[in-house]
Amino acid sequence: MATQSLDSVIQHPERRYVEVERLDDLEAFLAIIEKGSQAAASRHLRRPLQSLNRSLLALERAVGVELVKRTTRRSEPTEAGRVFYERIRPAVAAIIEARNEAVNIRGEVSGLLKIGAPGLFASAHVAPIIGHFLKLYPNVEIELRANDEQVDLLAEGLDIAVRIGESVDESLVARRLHALRVVTFGAPSYFSEHGRPKHPSDLEHHHCILRAGADLFDNWPFHIGGKLEAIPVRGRFRSNSAAAIRVAASEGVGLARLPL
């Protein structure tokens, strides 16, 4: 069967815009002025362009005045923006330096770290390295929450999360960790009763195990002839648990689609 490659991403909810005077917004403004454009500032800070633009808009709303004149290729400070830049630049630099110094003092790292990850990934990859992490940071406590749903990180109180697939929240900063193959598979008992599909289009005539929340039909993506195509599938069993889907597929309930 054809496969699809998805990315595991790690996400940080503290980078969401909660307060308009956040340091991230000030850093974005300084970078735009110093680099001459939002695109250059985006590359410098390694932040998405949309995220950078939201920071600038939030800061301008907080100050109550336009700080930057945008053109197609350039971003130049207004008179108010130039004065604001000169006043905050030393303060922001001092804050960043102090923050970096604090981060580098390993012995003072303490508190509760709440981590989110999909169920199977949490048990196979996250849980085994927690012991080593706790030895490095003896004043840290860890709470690992296994959930296959892409929950709201802030609402759940998570500090960091590992996810499989694309981010559904562009206000979070994500870093790709690795690529996973996603495969469609079934049990020998299912194939002996219903036959083995030879092409992704054959799935329309098979029982498939769907993710909970899907309608009567779902669409599974496949690379066919160099192009990405969505194949409609249907089934009588749905679950939001990858572990449950795997067990159901092993019992011959239907074909499933999971990371290899």
pLDDT tens-digit map of 208-220: 999 887 666 789 9
Instruction: Let me know: does 205 contact 233? Beta carbons within 8 Å.
Output: no
Confidence (pLDDT) at 216: 63
3-state secondary structure of 247: helix
What is the pTM (predicted TM-score) of this model? Answer: 0.50
3-state secondary structure of 127: helix
Residue 191: Cβ within 10 Å count: 14
Residue 175: Cβ within 10 Å count: 11
Residue 213: partners with Cβ closer than 8 Å, 6 or more residues away: 238, 240
Instruction: Let me know: does 162 contact 126? Beta carbons within 8 Å.
Output: yes
CA distance 57 to 70: 12
Structure tokens at 219: 């669409």
Residues of the chain under the 70 pLDDT cut: 1-21, 72, 103-108, 166-170, 214-216
CA distance 260 to 27: 40
pLDDT tens-digit map of 75-104: 899 999 999 999 999 988 888 888 777 766
Residue 91: partners with Cβ closer than 8 Å, 6 or more residues away: none
Confidence (pLDDT) at 105: 62
Confidence (pLDDT) at 181: 85
Confidence (pLDDT) at 172: 74
